[in-house]
């Protein structure tokens, strides 16, 4: 064995030695903070994960799963907000059509997040990433539906919810990055 490959093997065992404990250790508050520091939205990450008590005993993958669940609740809430509350504020046919379309997009985002749970369970992290990126992209499809009709203003409340869901997805991607695939 050449010394280069020996060094390579040694580095691999070194990496594994330090990587595994990170994956297996129970997620106390400190572990949650450490994990969230690696994501783009620390506060959102910590407060979301802490809102679910099972995060206290979760490993890195478990935290990703919990965050996906939070994303699903969020996207579902926005989908129903669009098809009920917001829909009831207008009689405009075009606006109704676009709101219905948007509601569908947010429910597809929920579906994509749901699909990522199976990927995570099978440790298919590349597929999990793909599904979460799709979930983060569906709000754009809603925004684009508004842009198609120049007379329709994009309601600030949808913009707020769009940003919220995208940030949740971003946090999930950050946590999945830590899984070392
Ligand atoms: C906490 O997260 C788990 C895993 O996603 C989920 O099954 C459970 O419903 C969540 N609990 C609450 C209170 O949301
Ligand atoms: C929509 O139309 C109904 C029936 O004409 C009317 O009662 C209602 O106030 C209208 N709603 C809005 C938000 O304009
Ligand atoms: C989810 O959606 C609601 C409504 O838009 C929002 O207020 C909230 O901050 C979002 N994020 C989380 C993590 O629940």
Query: How far apart are the two ends of the chain, measured CA to CA in Å?
Result: 26
Q: What pLDDT is recorded for position 21?
A: 46
Q: What pLDDT shows up at residue 77?
A: 98
Residue 20, pLDDT score = 46
Tell whether the model's pLDDT for residue 1 goes beyond 90.
no
Query: Given the CA of residue 52, which atom of ligand 1 is nearest to it?
Result: 1
So what's the pLDDT on residue 14?
A: 44
What is the distance in A from the centroid of ligand 2 to the CA of 81? 19
Which residue is closest in CA terms to ligand 3's atom 9?
A: 164
Query: Nearest to residue 171, comparing CAs of 33, 23, 32, 36?
Result: 36
User: CB of 161 closer than 6 A to ligand 3?
Assistant: yes
Residue 6 has pLDDT above 60, yes or no: no
Question: Which pTM does this prediction carry?
Answer: 0.84
- Residue whose CA lies nearest to ligand 2 atom number 1: 91
Identify which of 165, 168, 141, 143 has the alpha carbon closest to the alpha carbon of residue 154.
Answer: 143
**Residues 38, 22 contacting (CB under 8 angstroms):** no
Q: What spacing in Å lies between the alpha carbon of 92 and ligand 2's midpoint?
A: 10
Q: How far apart are CA 159 and CA 162, in angstroms?
A: 5
Q: Where are the alpha helices (DSSP H) in the chain?
A: 3-24, 29-37, 42-50, 60-81, 93-121, 125-148, 156-177
Residue pLDDT, tens place only, 124-170: 999 999 999 999 999 999 999 999 988 899 999 999 999 999 999 99
pLDDT digits (tens, 9 = 90+) for 84-100: 998 899 999 999 999 99
Residues 32-41, mean pLDDT to the nearest whole number: 98
Atom of ligand 2 nearest to the CA of 90: 13
Domains and CATH numbers, the chain: 24-177 (1.20.140.40)
Tell whether ligand 2 has an atom less than 6 A from the beta carbon of residue 51: no
Task: Give per-residue pLDDT as tens, 78-88.
Answer: 999 999 998 89
Q: What DSSP letter does each residue of 6-26 carry, written as one string?
A: HHHHHHHHHHHHHHHHHHHS-
Establish whether residue 54 lines the binding site of ligand 2, counting it when its CB lies within 6 angstroms of any ligand atom. Answer: no
> What separation in angstroms does the CA of 155 have from each of 84, 87, 89, 159, 161?
15, 12, 12, 7, 10
pLDDT at 19 over 80: no
Task: Give the closest ligand to the alpha carbon of residue 120.
Answer: 1
């Amino acid at each position: 064995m050449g010394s280069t490959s020996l060094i390579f093997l040694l580095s691999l065992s070194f990496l594994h030695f330090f990587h595994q404990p990170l994956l297996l250790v129970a997620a106390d508050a400190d572990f949650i903070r450490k994990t969230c520091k690696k994501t783009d939205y620390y506060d959102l990450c910590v407060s979301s994960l802490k809102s679910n008590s099972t995060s206290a005993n979760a490993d890195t993958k478990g935290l990703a799963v919990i965050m996906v669940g939070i994303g699903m609740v969020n996207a579902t809430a926005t989908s129903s907000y669009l098809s009920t509350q917001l829909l009831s504020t207008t009689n405009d046919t075009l606006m109704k059509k676009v709101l219905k379309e948007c509601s569908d997009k947010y429910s597809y985002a929920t579906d994509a997040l749901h699909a990522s749970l199976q990927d995570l369970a099978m440790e298919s992290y590349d597929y999990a990433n793909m599904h979460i990126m799709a979930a983060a992209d569906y709000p754009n499809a809603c925004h684009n539906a508004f842009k198609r009709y120049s007379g329709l203003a994009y309601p600030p409340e949808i913009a707020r919810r769009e940003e919220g869901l995208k940030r949740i997805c971003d946090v999930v991607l950050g946590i999945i990055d830590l899984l070392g695939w």
